[in-house]
Structure 1
């Protein structure tokens, strides 16, 4: 086992005032500055933290046209505070030359502490209500980003439900998986809530812990916050194998937690479970390649 490395991580749980983009940015920036003051090397924000998910409201499309402005603001903030930032997701509107053809992406970016964009990921597995608005990255492969905190993979919200995404990332060397999310208790159906009103909280907690164990990786999950009376689940956390959540925001309210992530636990887990070792074998019997000719699961 190699020597330990402590990475101080800030996970930020925010409530987005619908379409109040500048207000939401300023609130996020205050949290990031506080995280940097506490010595964090990385700050992670939730999905849709600038606009909320209100695609049918007047003004949503116009807000998505500002994506580059706010991405650049986060780049400047990362450089100012000497901190890496994953600014949740910022929905991007890309228009054709005629101004009529429109594509909406929902990407996450990794910005290093010098303000440089090291990589990005566009959401692949869209939630049901997103499919009429967003464009999936579909068959594009999951890629690992080399960062100051090590090799990172990024997923977004509903991607958590797909173990294949994690497998592809760790097979390529990712040690930390970052997941901005906008996941509420009300994402369940009425039938599901009859069985368990907090089913989505159970889904989130159990899935994150399982993914950390079965992939010998750390999972940084930053979820939207807000009033529990409106279904906000919260549960933002940093989770590792053997231990489970190192820190966890249990309510739906806003907040931030800063924690030391000891990467030695990831190597200890791999020494125990040898998942990555098995995946690297030439005769490994599962095929998770994302192409149309591979074995269908």
Structure 2
């Protein structure tokens, strides 16, 4: 069967993609961030997953506020990388596995998640910003992507607990797929940051590190936070952290954190963290954790 072998939490700041495309990886302001991704890319190269399953949000690039779904799954062989104003990027289309995507979609609907589905739509920096830092892309990506978009822009937003439960349902969907695929689950979004209003530039490094510890060791404790709590602790845009909880829900209760890099350069706490599942944990997931 398909199995999840680990997870990655990563920021998806659009300027990361711009700096990458301009070859600024060694610039003093950017090197601490780009260097932080190298151990994760090395780990992926060693593990050779077939699939990266992304929980991300669209930034009103493909979906707009006149019809913005709570949860949306992309199904297609290829997804173009969006031009978000800086020009087309030199990246190949993101590859998809239609059979696997369709299986996950059907499993989630049967698990009583009311999913929306999209095809032939561009993917913005929610995925395309970190993706080339994780995977090589010449001449093409080494595997496929399952894109699952979560609404963190237009209220009402899904709760942290609902996102965590979505991740648990995704795990069940993956493990019910009959082909032998290795899957790494990726949750994207910045930690503390606010880019508008009276608290523009707000960060909370103490909360960021507390979140990362609790996220790893006791994620259920985070599922009771209201949206107002996320905003108070980390700034308005830090509500993106509920997408990390979807990733965490898809992973085993106990994990090994194999890498963490935290870098606060400007207005956004930019982070990449990697977690690995042991074979025993992957096989012996408690049933009550999947309710």
TM-score by length of 1: 0.38
Bigger relative contact order, structure 1 or 2, given CA contacts below 8 A and separation 6+?
2
Q: Which has the higher helix share?
A: 2
TM-score by length of 2: 0.39
